[in-house]
Amino acid sequence: MRFLLPLAAFIVLVGFLAVGLGLKPREIPSPLVGKPAPVFQSPRLHEPDQILSSKDNLGKVWLLNVWASWCVSCREEHPLLVELSKSGIVPIYGLNYKDKPELALQWLGQYGDPYTVSVVDPEGRIGIDYGVYGVPETYVIDKNGVIRHKQIGPVTIESLEKKILPLIKELQG
C-alpha cells in the first residue's frame, strides 16, 4: 500500500497543474477595488494650462484608461475604446502614462481620440497611486468615486461584454 503513496501524491499534483493551466497568474487583483479612487489633479493633454481634477467626475460613472503612445497593446484595444466612446454609454478619461505630449497627440491623431479628456502623467506619479504595473489598464469608477473594477491589459470584446458594460449599467442604475 505504501508503495502507492508516491503515485497518489503525483495524481494530486497533476490535478493542481491541470487546473493551473487554465489560470492566469499574471492577473493580480487590485487591492484598490472597492476603495475610493486616488484623487489627482493634472494638466490636460490637449490644453496643458488647464488642470483636470478627478473630483469633478463625482456623480457620474466613468472609465479611467491608462495608455501611452509607446504601448503596443494599447493599439490593440484602441478601436474598441473609440467605438465605446461613440456609443456615448460612458465617458472615458485617459491617463497618458510616462509619455511625451507631442508623441501622444500624434498617436491620437493617427488612431482616433476616444477620450473625453486625457490627463498627462509624465513621471508616472498618478500611476503609482493607482498601482499601475502595466499599460494598458482600465478602471471603472462609480458615482461616489469608488473603484469598482480594474482591467489589466487590453480591453477585449469579451471583457467589455461580460464584465465592464454590465457593471456600468448596474452602477448607472
Partner 1 sequence: MIPELGNFSLILALLLALTQGTLPIIGAARGNLSWIALARPVVQGQFVFLAIAFGCLAYSFVNNDFSVMNVARNSNSELPAQYRFAASWGSHEGSLLLWVFMLSGWSVAVSVFSRHLPDEMVARVLGVMGLISVGFILFMLVTSNPFDRLLPAAFEGSDLNPLLQDPGMVIHPPMLYMGYVGFSVAFAFAIAALISGQMDAAWARWSRPWTTVAWVFLTIGIMLGSWWAYYELGWGGWWFWDPVENASFLPWMVGTALVHSLAVTEKRGSFKSWTVLLAISAFSLSLLGTFLVRSGVLTSVHAFATDPSRGIFILGFLVIVIGSSLLLFAWRAPKVGLGGKFDLVSRESMLLANNLLLVVAAGSVLLGTLYPLIMDSLDLGKISVGPPYFEAVFVPLMTPAIFLMGLGPLARWKQASLPELVMRLRWAFCVSMATALLMPLVMGEWKPMVSFGLLLAFWVIATIFVSIRHRLQNSGQGSVFTRLARQSRSYYSMHLAHFGIAVFIIGVTLVNGYETEKDVRMEIGSTVEMGGYTFRFTGASPVTGPNYSAMRGDIEILRNGEKIRVMQPEKRTYNASGMAMTEPAIDTGFIRDLYVALGEPLENGAWVVRVYHKPFVDWIWFGCLLMAFGGMLAVSDRRYRLKINTKPIETATEEKDGGRAPSSTRLATGGKKG
Which residues sit at the interface with partner 1, rule CB under 8 A? 3-4, 6-7, 10-11, 13-14, 16-23, 25-29
Is the CB of 13 or the CB of 58 nearer to partner 1?
13
The three-state (H, E, C) secondary structure of 30-67, written as one string: CCCCCCECCCCEEEECCCCCCEEEHHHHCCCCEEEEEE
Least distance from partner 1 to the Cβ atom of residue 110, Å: 20
Is the CB of 73 or the CB of 116 nearer to partner 1?
73
Residue where the block lists cell 484608461: 65
Least distance from partner 1 to the Cβ atom of residue 134, Å: 13
Instruction: Give the start-end residues of each E strand in the chain.
Output: 41-43, 51-53, 62-67, 92-97, 117-121, 137-141, 147-152
Least distance from partner 1 to the Cβ atom of residue 95, Å: 23
Is the CB of 22 or the CB of 59 nearer to partner 1?
22
